[in-house]
């Protein structure tokens, strides 16, 4: 090899590293807009489950993705404002636990992919054309709230055998919650129960709602709603004060001193939502990714709360519980 050729090769080798570094720096970073319907304090754990699953799939914050977190604090109007901000910032995908803001998200953009994790009835809410072929820019996971409402009432009656009058507390301004409560009313009619509907649209409505049902109801069914989720500690304190047993959708309410819950596991839904985001960032279209149903349902009982209310939980029911909190 002649001297001039050797110098040329050595010079090329010395020049190689800057090009390698440049290629590494050029890796695209996608922006994921995460819209929590509640607060960071109330939904931080499920956001962590989402991030953890994305890391397992190869997506790391600050390396190839960036997370933009926003919290609606249980306010649907606030959710719409935050969605508009995501659209202005042109994030690559929007993710939301639950379906409370999904209708607003569909109205906000028909371009940015949207993944919902736990919409009560995606078809009934007008989010997708069908579960198998969503057909637009939204897809995700159905929470099946409407399908299991009757099951919750059956479980409640086993603990409260004298149940005759049921108070239903919900924010009917949320479309998914309104559909769920319609199913609850159908179930109460089938069981021969009287129903009292009390609406809550702001935190300030919660205490007056309990004043309205005190002495008029034997138990309370709380609909799936970000306002209720954010205020679950407040609701349970007031329920205990009014000596009213409670039934919920999610275990987090029972961990906060509620009596019972039966429904999908939210951290599991968020991990599966991360799988949807992974597919979308790798080129899949939301229109072609089927909406899936929950695979993990939990029945959780708070025995401490039951004792405080003077209730005896049948051993057969405790044996069926996925978790008993004492």
Kindly report the average pLDDT of the chain as a whole number.
89
| Sequence-ordered list of residues with C-beta below 8 angstroms from that of 176, at least 6 positions apart, any chain | 98, 99, 100, 102, 119, 120, 121, 125, 143, 145, 224
In this predicted model, which residue has the larger pLDDT, 16 or 49? 49
Q: How confident is the model at residue 257 (pLDDT cuts 50, 70, 90)?
A: very high
Residues 170 and 58 in one domain: no
User: What CATH number corresponds to the domain at position 212?
Assistant: 3.40.50.2300
Give the domain extent around 85.
Answer: 30-143+265-296
Please give the average per-residue pLDDT across 9-33, as a whole number: 52
Q: Does residue 18 surpass a pLDDT of 50?
A: no
Of 80, 74, 100, 99, the closest CA to residue 205 belongs to 74
Residue 7 in any domain: the answer is no
Q: What is the pLDDT of residue 147?
A: 64
Residues 247 and 200 in one domain: yes
Give percent of the chain above pLDDT 90.
Answer: 72
Indicate the pTM of the whole model: 0.81
Residues 137 and 235 in one domain: no
Q: Are 47 and 95 in contact (CB under 8 A)?
A: no
Residues 152 and 216 in one domain: yes
Out of 17-21, 40-44, 145-149, 292-296, least confident range: 17-21
Residues 132 and 216 in one domain: no
Q: Are 122 and 131 in contact (CB under 8 A)?
A: yes
Residues 150 and 226 in one domain: yes
307 three-class SS: helix
How far is residue 55's CA from residue 47's CA, in Å, rounded to a whole number? 13
Please give the average per-residue pLDDT across 204-216, as a whole number: 96
Residues 180 and 116 in one domain: no
Q: What is the pLDDT of residue 12?
A: 45
Please give the average per-residue pLDDT across 35-55, as a whole number: 92
Q: What is the pLDDT of residue 95?
A: 97
Residues 96 and 165 in one domain: no
For 193-208, the pLDDT digits (tens) are 999 999 999 999 999 9
Residues 170 and 314 in one domain: yes
Total structural domains within the chain: 2
For 102-116, the pLDDT digits (tens) are 989 999 999 999 999
Residue 11 in any domain: the answer is no
> What are φ and ψ of residue 228, in 5° steps?
-65, -40
Of 76, 81, 105, the closest CA to residue 201 belongs to 76
Residues 259 and 193 in one domain: yes
């Amino acid at each position: 090899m002649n001297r001039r050729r050797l110098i040329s090769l050595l010079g090329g080798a010395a020049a190689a590293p800057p090009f390698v570094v440049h290629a590494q720096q050029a890796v695209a970073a996608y922006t994921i807009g995460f819209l929590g319907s509640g607060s960071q304090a109330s939904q931080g754990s499920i956001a962590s489950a989402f991030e953890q699953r994305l890391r397992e799939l190869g997506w790391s914050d600050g390396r190839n993705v960036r997370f933009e977190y926003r919290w609606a604090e249980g306010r649907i109007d606030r959710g719409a404002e935050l969605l508009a901000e995501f659209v202005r910032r042109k994030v690559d995908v929007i993710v939301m636990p639950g379906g409370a803001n999904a209708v607003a998200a569909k109205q906000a953009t028909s371009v940015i992919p949207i993944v919902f994790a736990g919409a009560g009835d995606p078809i009934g809410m007008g989010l997708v054309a069908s579960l198998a072929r969503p057909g637009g820019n939204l897809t995700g996971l159905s929470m099946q709230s409407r399908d299991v409402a009757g099951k919750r009432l059956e479980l409640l009656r086993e603990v409260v055998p004298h149940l005759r009058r049921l108070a239903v507390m919900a924010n009917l301004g949320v479309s998914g919650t309104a559909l769920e409560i319609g199913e609850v009313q159908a179930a109460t009619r089938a069981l021969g129960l009287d129903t009292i509907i009390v609406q809550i649209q702001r935190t300030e409505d919660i205490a007056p709602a309990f004043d309205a049902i005190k002495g008029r109801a034997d138990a309370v069914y709380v609909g799936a709603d970000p306002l209720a989720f954010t205020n679950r500690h407040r609701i349970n304190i007031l329920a205990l004060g009014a000596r009213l047993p409670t039934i919920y959708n999610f275990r987090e309410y029972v961990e906060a001193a509620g009596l019972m819950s039966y429904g999908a596991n939210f951290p599991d839904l968020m991990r599966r939502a991360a799988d949807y985001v992974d597919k979308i960032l790798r080129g899949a279209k939301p229109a072609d990714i089927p909406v899936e149903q929950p695979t993990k349902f939990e029945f959780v009982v708070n025995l401490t709360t039951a004792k405080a209310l003077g209730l005896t939980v049948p051993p057969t029911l405790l044996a069926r519980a996925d978790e008993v909190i004492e």
